[in-house]
Structure 1
Amino acid sequence: MSVQNLSMVITRPGGPEVFQPLTSTLPEPGAGEVRLRVLAAGVSYGDVMMRLGNVPGSPKQPYAPGYDVVGEVEALGTGVSTVQVGVRVAAIGARGGYTTFLNVKATDLVPVPDGLDPLVAGAAVLNYVTAYQLLHRAVRVSAGQSVLVQAAAGGVGTALLDLGREAGLTLYGTASAGKLDLVRRFGATALDYRTQDVPARVKELSGGGVSAAFDGVGGASFSKSYAALAAGGRLVVYGFGPAASRGGRGALATSFLRVMLFNLRPDGRKVGFHFVDTARHQDWVREDLGKVFALLAAGNIQPLVAARLPLRSAAEAHRMLEAGEVRGKLVLIPG
């Protein structure tokens, strides 16, 4: 049977105030789908950029953002035999996660290990898969290598530090002064990006530069990440975050062009892009999320939940992200 569903939807491009609650009827899951009762919905900077209208191809308004969820299976569509009603699962690529119920494809689901807090699991889904792929697919790091993580106190930043520490890497992380202690807690050398010459300090401490740098900030941050690389090092861009949200599509285009020009330099350093591609590599997503959950269940990683906010506080969650107040991952709790 169908259910009454509450979603927080974006009604037009703009600030957090454009969020409005929308109650609608969610139909029965279709063939190959399941209905989830959402227990935790992740909030990411990509959601902010979609709300601002800076992402080409965003859904038609009104729509609910939200790309990653943890939920409990409530109903099965026809042909579904891989999951059972009552089990907890996670999904990446489940558009519309800011909601109380959600129909998703059964093939996109990954079981959540028994005993895991769904909110902690929710904090690990998108951020940790992104970080895992950056480390082990985009670069393929090995123990003993050194890496630089920009915006290291954020959601993907703390995930990179957590997984990097587990992989035996030497870590350098940038943050503002008030977040440096958090970066140190994850085992990294903390650098204040506002007051320190980050490339010079990284080269001094590492003995010539890092093997890899990971940057989702955009703008001038890309140049600093590139400058911190050792010969043969690799910069991986996984987003244009704050720079694009402040400067709009023009800043997005400028940041993209900056990255492309780096690859024309004959200095042996390389720059590439990486994002979690659920369209072409859903097999990677399921495999990598399964590995993340195994590490989490074993106690080898500790995702940081920045705040647990009720679903109706989606606007506040976005305000916090844009203000730079978030340490770790924001999670919405539908009710």
Structure 2
Amino acid sequence: MKYRHIVITHPGDSSVLRMVEDERPDPQSGEVRVRILATGVAFTDIMMREGVYPGVPKIPYSPGYDIVGIVDGVGAGVSSGLLGHMVVALTIVGGYSESICIPEQDIVLVPFGVDPIDAVSVVLHYTTAYQMLHRIAYVNPGERILIHGAAGGVGTALLELGKLAGLELYGTASPSKHGTIAKLGGIPIDYHNEDFVARIRQLTGDGVDIVFDAVGGRNLTRSYKTLRSGGRLVSYGFLSAFAPHRHKNWTIATTLLRLAMLKLIPDRRKVFFYSIADCKAKHPDWYHEDLTTLLHWLAEGKIKPIIAKRLPLQEAAQAHELLEQSAVTGKVVLICR
């Protein structure tokens, strides 16, 4: 039986994404095969496409960090009781596909009645937000947080989960997205026309407790300046590397160097770098526990992801362009079936 998937043919812009057809894989020992219903689109996929994301397979391969689907095959040593169940998984690669074989330990069961599009929307973005809040920054009720890119997939997740945690929320975004930030309980800051460091000082008096920074580069130093004593800076991305006329690898390298230098400042403020892939590898128990918690919150109506756009799998290139243009609020999802 054949299946279709999107592959990166070579590093470059969205035009390097191609739909191909191959024989459907059979699950090996310890694996399940998932008929993918939907996959999320994230900036990490763009980094893969550009050839600057570490630890990925040799080109050509399929990007796709998270999936939702139905188990339709099991390998040796895996219970046939999983057949027919809806599951989600953090795949890191391979999600832009109609079918995938993955280790059984990577899947998490989706509670009955949960919409699959909502389910896939919590895998990467909400798990990232949850772990940064509760596993890295160890937030406490009443603390103030600043979120850069607060209208994006992780940003909106941080706002929603931050509100549940009883935090005081501030978020940077373009003016057209301020309504979304306010609706989710945050105080919006116009990063185009305002100095966010000065604005935070004006709004809070002495700064914030935690900054979540996906921008990187020089923005990290400015984020650090907004922290009050004992504050934490959590870096988790390199968006500045994709600004026009920037050398991507150089900007990523200087971001990591800047983080290392900020860590050396002896002033009671702390600096962290977060990677969900690294966290999953080091703490697989956290991955299962946290994603299970989020799926149950979803089933209970405590969280509701913002779905920015649903596109068919063959329009993956358009999905990438929407993210690169910052033209969406929330999660972009590719429908694979």
Q: Deviations over 1:108-153 (max 9, x none)?
A: 1111111111001111111000000000000111111110000000
Matched with 1:252 is 252
Percent identity for Structure 1 against Structure 2: 47
Matched with 1:176 is 174
Matched with 2:299 is 297
Shift of 1:241: 2.5
Matched with 2:99 is 101
Partner of 1:173, secondary structure, is strand
Equivalences for residues 255-266 of structure 1 within 5 A: 255-266=255-266
Match of 1:156 among 144, 154, 158: 154
Q: Deviations over 1:288-331 (max 9, x none)?
A: 00011111111111111111110001100111111111211111
Instruction: Answer yes or no: is 1:281 the counterpart of 2:280.
Output: no
Match of 2:28 among 30, 33, 39: 30
Matched with 2:132 is 134
Shift of 1:165: 0.6
Shift of 1:61: 1.1
Q: Following the alignment from structure 1 to structure 2, what is the Cα–Cα distance between the partners of residues 233 and 226? A: 9
Give the 3 Å change call, closer, same or farther, for CA 294–82 of structure 1 in structure 2.
farther
Matched with 2:313 is 311
Q: Deviations over 1:47-94 (max 9, x none)?
A: 101101112333211110011101111111111128521110100135
TM-score, length basis structure 2: 0.96
Shift of 1:242: 4.1
Matched with 2:208 is 210
Q: Following the alignment from structure 2 to structure 1, what is the Cα–Cα distance between the partners of residues 206 and 265? A: 18
> Does the 8 Å CA contact 1:211/1:232 hold for their aligned counterparts?
yes
* Stretch deviating more after TM superposition (197-206 or 13-22): 197-206
Shift of 1:203: 2.2
The amino acid that maps onto 1:280 is K
Partner of 2:203, secondary structure, is helix
> Does the 8 Å CA contact 2:144/2:209 hold for their aligned counterparts?
yes
Instruction: Answer yes or no: is 1:268 the counterpart of 2:268.
Output: yes
Match of 2:322 among 311, 315, 320: 320
Partner of 1:98, secondary structure, is coil
Give the 3 Å change call, closer, same or farther, for CA 94–75 of structure 1 in structure 2.
farther
Give the 3 Å change call, closer, same or farther, for CA 161–20 of structure 1 in structure 2.
same
Partner of 2:18, secondary structure, is strand
Matched with 1:329 is 331
Q: Following the alignment from structure 1 to structure 2, what is the Cα–Cα distance between the partners of residues 244 and 212? A: 25
* Stretch deviating more after TM superposition (320-329 or 198-207): 198-207
* Stretch deviating more after TM superposition (197-206 or 230-239): 197-206
> Does the 8 Å CA contact 1:93/1:278 hold for their aligned counterparts?
no
* Stretch deviating more after TM superposition (199-208 or 31-40): 199-208
* Stretch deviating more after TM superposition (81-90 or 133-142): 81-90
* Stretch deviating more after TM superposition (18-27 or 81-90): 81-90
Matched with 2:121 is 123
> Does the 8 Å CA contact 1:94/1:104 hold for their aligned counterparts?
no
Q: Following the alignment from structure 2 to structure 1, what is the Cα–Cα distance between the partners of residues 6 and 101? A: 16
Match of 2:10 among 9, 12, 15: 12
> Does the 8 Å CA contact 1:244/1:252 hold for their aligned counterparts?
no
Q: Following the alignment from structure 1 to structure 2, what is the Cα–Cα distance between the partners of residues 43 and 9? A: 14
Give the 3 Å change call, closer, same or farther, for CA 124–152 of structure 1 in structure 2.
same
The amino acid that maps onto 1:248 is K
Gaps of 5+ in 1: none
Q: Following the alignment from structure 1 to structure 2, what is the Cα–Cα distance between the partners of residues 82 and 209? A: 54
The amino acid that maps onto 1:317 is A
Q: Deviations over 1:228-252 (max 9, x none)?
A: 1101101001111343565310110
The amino acid that maps onto 2:120 is G
Q: Following the alignment from structure 2 to structure 1, what is the Cα–Cα distance between the partners of residues 110 and 55? A: 31
Q: Deviations over 1:247-289 (max 9, x none)?
A: 3101101111111111222222111111112322222111100
Q: Following the alignment from structure 1 to structure 2, what is the Cα–Cα distance between the partners of residues 256 and 199? A: 21
Instruction: Answer yes or no: is 1:193 the counterpart of 2:191.
Output: yes
Partner of 1:330, secondary structure, is strand
Q: How many residues align?
A: 333
> Does the 8 Å CA contact 2:39/2:333 hold for their aligned counterparts?
yes
The amino acid that maps onto 2:252 is L
The amino acid that maps onto 1:256 is L
Shift of 1:28: 1.3
Shift of 1:5: 1.2
